[in-house]
Amino acid sequence: MMFAPLFDDSSACRFAERTFEVTAASLQHLARCYPLPPSLQRAVLKRQVEFLAGRVCAQRAAEALTGRRPAAIPPQPDRAPAWPPGMVGSITHTSGYAAALVASATDYQGIGLDCEVLLSRQQLALRRHICVAGELEALQAAHPDWAPEQLLTLIFSAKESLFKCLYRKVQAFFGFPAARVLRLQPAQHTFVIQLEYDLTPELRQQAQWTGQFACQNNLLLTALLYISAPQALRASQSELPACREEAQGRDVEEPRD
């Protein structure tokens, strides 16, 4: 599959992914694996298919981790998935692609996984909502062979992954100004992200995490794992193609489930 090489079987986490089409037939197929919850019965088709595709991935990842497939992973009132006891995880879905990453809560306190369609050059104006002062400029100077819209997509996705990763600890919303992507290592498919201010007594300003990223076609995926202190993602260093594909336009959104 597309991003599975990032997460080998020797790591403590389990990953599942799938592609899908937004059609009635796809909805029926997915609903045979995971029933559509009552709260989404009147939702638009796109929302229904994306939700089910993400939950099917979550079920499969959980089964790979524990040997048991959970009957349901319902959304909580804040839309975060209610994982089975003893498990942490993250779900992402965008533009015909869905994925989930799970691990034991004894190994990790949080997981963040996010996938985005590459932003277009016309969407660079979004930088004022996504970046802190000098963030994009510093990465551009360090990586002149990357288009600014590709770097902006990575910054956006990395911060989405950070939010998902830390939300279980913070239990409150925090936005893009809370963090800065400091540097990239394209050959290793890693990035370093740092908090710009304290979130909790444990999650202090300048705390850093190393995450993984990969780009396939027009999609960019990022992942972060949180142990008891910021540490690098335990993932394989497989040689995946760096982010050099042609960008396509999209509307920026913030899926949490």
In Å, what is the CA distance from 171 to each residue of 164, 177, 199, 208?
Answer: 10, 17, 10, 19
In Å, what is the CA distance from 206 to each residue of 5, 91, 104, 230?
Answer: 30, 27, 27, 11
In Å, what is the CA distance from 257 to each residue of 53, 100, 134, 152, 157?
Answer: 11, 10, 31, 22, 14
Give the pLDDT of residue 227. Answer: 84
pLDDT surpasses 80 at 253: no
List the Cα angle 229/91/106 in 5-degree steps: 35
Give the pLDDT of residue 9. Answer: 61
Q: Which two tokens stand for residue 158?
A: 């990395």
Among 184, 154, 136, residue whose Cα is nearest residue 245: 154
Q: What is the pLDDT of residues 227-249, one digit of tens each?
A: 844 444 443 333 334 433 333 33
Give the pLDDT of residue 2. Answer: 78
List the Cα angle 220/222/223 in 5-degree steps: 155
Q: What is the pLDDT of residues 135-146, one digit of tens each?
A: 999 999 999 999
Q: Work out whether strand 179-185 and strand 13-19 pair parallel, antiparallel, or are unpaired.
A: unpaired
Please give the average per-residue pLDDT across 218-227, as a whole number. Answer: 94
Give the pLDDT of residue 252. Answer: 35
- Percent of the chain exceeding pLDDT 70 equals 87
List the Cα angle 8/231/153 in 5-degree steps: 75
Question: Is 133 exposed, middle or buried (CB count within 10 Å of its CB: 0-12, 13-18, 19+)?
Answer: exposed
Phi, psi dihedrals of residue 74, rounded to the nearest 5°: -75, 155
Structural domains of the chain, with CATH: 4-226 (3.90.470.20)
Prediction pTM value? 0.87
59 within 8 A of 69, measured Cβ to Cβ: yes
pLDDT surpasses 70 at 112: yes
